[in-house]
Structure 1
């Protein structure tokens, strides 16, 4: 694993386009969020694309707050990443496999800004657990949907 990044991978029995549609629909983010912090979509477009801004209702450590995000990386059906107040990024990379299904890699990239803050706060381990649960929930959601 790269320094100042936390990544996990899952294979989902669904085409990349279906998974990408879920990832680019902010209203669905609470359904696949495994961290328990995303509570709802509060502002922004129905579908995300490069430079889209969207807001989410959040809750962490018992505190409710709102987070504004901006899409900073985007390749249709292959890659999406967003950042918010902090310079770190949440990234999803999708790779369709030759024998079917899609490999999905979710990465929390905290190499931007002040990585020591995240390490001291225990965020890499906390985010790893959240990513693992998110990927399972994303798999369940994508495999249950029909094209």
Structure 2
């Protein structure tokens, strides 16, 4: 892998209007339905994302974190029916709130392809990870491209089941 690489982007067309896809993406309670990594379990927050600057909490599970853990997600991008993104921050071991995001981001961009189809791009970026200790601890990309593609496949299934 190219060590200079700082992001992965996958794209697919989903046979649904962008507003329907955006509706699923902005509801944290549904994120487990389209998580291709298998880490997301359930949302603590059931409120819809409505603006950049908001935060939502997810219950997660991964061997890389020793099992169950929680992450606070800081919404970094919001443009209705066009874009939503967030940067996660793992909760402290004592259950304390995180100091802030560690630098990686999930960004979904929606481009209408007529009235009933949308091109969806998912970018997983670690370009803002600068902590040398974290870079030693986590090998990026932690989530492989195949898992990102699976996320878009699962998103398509979640949207069309509504």
TM-score if structure 1 supplies the norm length?
A: 0.87
Q: Which has the higher helix share?
A: 1
Structure 1 residues 10 and 64: alpha-carbon distance in aligned structure 2, compared to 1, 3 A threshold: same
Going from structure 1 to structure 2, the CA distance change for 1:69 and 1:98 (only over 3 Å counts) comes to same
Equivalence for 1:98: 114
Name the structure 2 match of 1:3: 5
What is the deviation of 1:46?
1.5
- CA distance in structure 1 between the aligned counterparts of 2:78 and 2:48, rounded to whole angstroms: 12
**Bigger CA drift: 27-36 or 92-101?**
92-101
Of 102, 106, 110, the match for 2:126: 110
Match of 2:152 in 1: 135
Runs of 4+ in 1 over 2 A off after TM superposition: 113-123
Paired residues, number: 143
Q: What is the CA distance between 1:47 and its match in structure 2?
A: 0.5
**Structure 2 gap ranges (5+):** 90-101
Superposition RMSD in Å: 2.2
| Distance in structure 2 (CA, Å) of the matches to 1:115 and 1:34 | 26
Match of 1:31 in 2: 33
Q: 1:70 is matched with which residue?
A: 74
The question of whether the paired residues in 1 share the 8 Å contact of 2:32 and 2:41 is answered with: yes
SS at match of 2:144: helix
Q: Which moved more, 1:12-21 or 1:96-105?
A: 96-105
Gaps spanning 5+ residues in structure 1: where? none
Q: 2:48 maps to which residue? A: 47
In structure 2, what is the Cα distance between the partners aligned to 1:119 and 1:75? 34
Quick one: which of 84, 95, 103 aligns to 2:88? Answer: 84
Q: Tell me the TM-score normalised to structure 2 length.
A: 0.79
